[in-house]
Structure 1
Amino acid sequence: MDSNIKKSLIALAFGTLGLGVAEFVMMGILPNIASSLRITIPVAGHLISAYALGVCFGAIMLLMLRKYPMKNSLLLLVTIMAIGNGIAVISPSYTVMLLARFISGLPHGAYFGVASIVASKIAQEGKESEAVAIMISGMTVANLFGVPLGTFISGILSWRLIFLFIVLWDILTIFLIKRYVPYIAPLPDTGFLGQFKFLKSLAPWLILGATMMGNGGAFCWYSYVTPMFTEVSGFVPEIITALMVLAGLGMVIGNMIGGKLSSFFYPGKVGAIFQGLMAITLLGIFFLSPYKWAAVLLMCIVTLCLFAVSAPQQFLIIKFAPGGEMLGAAGIQIAFNLGNAIGAYLGGLPITYGVGVRYSALIASSIATLGFILFSLFNYLYQPKKSI
Structure 2
Amino acid sequence: MTELRSAPVDDDSPSTQDTPHGPAPIAGLSAARRWFALIALAIGGFGIGVTEFVTMGLLPDIAQDLLPDDYALDPEGANATAGLLVSAYALGVVVGAPTIAALAARWSRKRLLIALVTVFVIGNALSALLPSFGFVLAARFASAVPHGAYFGIASLVAASLMGPGNRARGVSFVMGGLAIANVVGVPTGTFLGQAFGWRAAYLFVALIFAVALVAIILTVPFRPGDPTATLRGELSALKRSQVWLTLGVASIGFGGIFAVYTFIAPIVTEVAGLSAEFVPWILVLFGVGMTIGNFVSGWLTDRSVKRSLLVSICSIGIAVLGFALFASTVGGLIVFVFLVGLATGSCGPAIQTRLMDAARDAQSFAAALNHSALNVGNSLGAFLGGVVIAAGLGYLSPAWVGVGLSLIGLTFLLVSFALERRKPL
Scaled by the length of structure 2, what TM-score is found?
0.82
Residues 70, 253 of structure 1: alpha-carbon distance in 2 compared, 3 angstrom cutoff: same
Give, in whole Å, the separation in 1 of the partners of 2:261 and 2:135: 29
- Deviation sequence 1:115-156 (CA, Å, 0-9, x none): 111111221211000110000111112222212211211222
Residues 29, 366 of structure 1: alpha-carbon distance in 2 compared, 3 angstrom cutoff: closer
Give percent identity, aligned residues only.
34
- Deviation sequence 1:208-267 (CA, Å, 0-9, x none): 111112211112233344454555555455433322211111111111111111122x11
Aligned to 1:305: 343
- Deviation sequence 1:283-321 (CA, Å, 0-9, x none): 333344455433322221121011111111111112211
Q: Report the secondary structure of 2:145's partner residue.
A: helix
Give, in whole Å, the separation in 2 of the partners of 1:163 and 1:11: 20
Q: What does residue range 280-295 of structure 1 map to in structure 2 within 5 Å?
A: 280-295=318-333
What is the aligned counterpart of 2:254 among 201, 206, 215?
215
Contact 1:269 1:379 in 2 (8 A): no
Contact 1:116 1:315 in 2 (8 A): no
Aligned to 1:25: 54
What is the aligned counterpart of 1:120 among 136, 156, 159?
159
- Deviation sequence 1:346-387 (CA, Å, 0-9, x none): 33454444445444333322211221222233233337999x
Residues 219, 323 of structure 1: alpha-carbon distance in 2 compared, 3 angstrom cutoff: same
Deviation at 1:190, TM superposition (A): 3.9
- Deviation sequence 1:85-135 (CA, Å, 0-9, x none): 232343244454334323211111111121111111221211000110000
Contact 1:118 1:184 in 2 (8 A): no
Contact 2:90 2:378 in 1 (8 A): no
What is the aligned counterpart of 2:405 among 353, 367, 374?
367
Aligned to 1:7: 36
Aligned to 2:212: 173
Q: Report the secondary structure of 1:271's partner residue.
A: helix
Q: What does residue range 12-91 of structure 1 map to in structure 2 within 5 Å?
A: 12-34=41-63, 36-37=65-66, 40=70, 42=78, 44-59=82-97, 60-91=99-130
Aligned to 1:141: 180
Contact 1:190 1:323 in 2 (8 A): no
- Deviation sequence 1:177-203 (CA, Å, 0-9, x none): 122111223246342222111211111
Give, in whole Å, the separation in 1 of the partners of 2:64 and 2:405: 35
Contact 2:91 2:379 in 1 (8 A): no
Give, in whole Å, the separation in 2 of the partners of 1:295 and 1:154: 23
Deviation at 1:37, TM superposition (A): 4.9
Q: Which residue identity does 1:78 align to in structure 2?
A: V
Residues 28, 281 of structure 1: alpha-carbon distance in 2 compared, 3 angstrom cutoff: closer
Residues 353, 58 of structure 1: alpha-carbon distance in 2 compared, 3 angstrom cutoff: closer
Q: Which residue identity does 2:91 align to in structure 1?
A: L
Give, in whole Å, the separation in 1 of the partners of 2:185 and 2:103: 32
Moved more, 28-37 or 116-125: 28-37
Q: What does residue range 233-252 of structure 1 map to in structure 2 within 5 Å?
A: 233-252=272-291
- Deviation sequence 1:322-368 (CA, Å, 0-9, x none): 33322212211111111122223333454444445444333322211
Deviation at 1:73, TM superposition (A): 0.6
Deviation at 1:172, TM superposition (A): 1.6
Aligned to 1:341: 379
Residues 48, 116 of structure 1: alpha-carbon distance in 2 compared, 3 angstrom cutoff: same
Q: What does residue range 187-198 of structure 1 map to in structure 2 within 5 Å?
A: 187=226, 189-198=228-237
Deviation at 1:48, TM superposition (A): 3.1
Q: Report the secondary structure of 2:139's partner residue.
A: helix
RMSD, matched Cα: 2.7
Q: Report the secondary structure of 1:115's partner residue.
A: helix
Contact 1:268 1:375 in 2 (8 A): no
Give, in whole Å, the separation in 2 of the partners of 1:372 and 1:189: 37
Contact 1:18 1:170 in 2 (8 A): yes
Residues 166, 352 of structure 1: alpha-carbon distance in 2 compared, 3 angstrom cutoff: closer
Q: Which residue identity does 1:259 align to in structure 2?
A: G
Scaled by the length of structure 1, what TM-score is found?
0.89
Give the count of matched residue pairs.
Answer: 386
Q: Report the secondary structure of 1:120's partner residue.
A: helix
Residues 279, 37 of structure 1: alpha-carbon distance in 2 compared, 3 angstrom cutoff: closer
Aligned to 1:325: 363
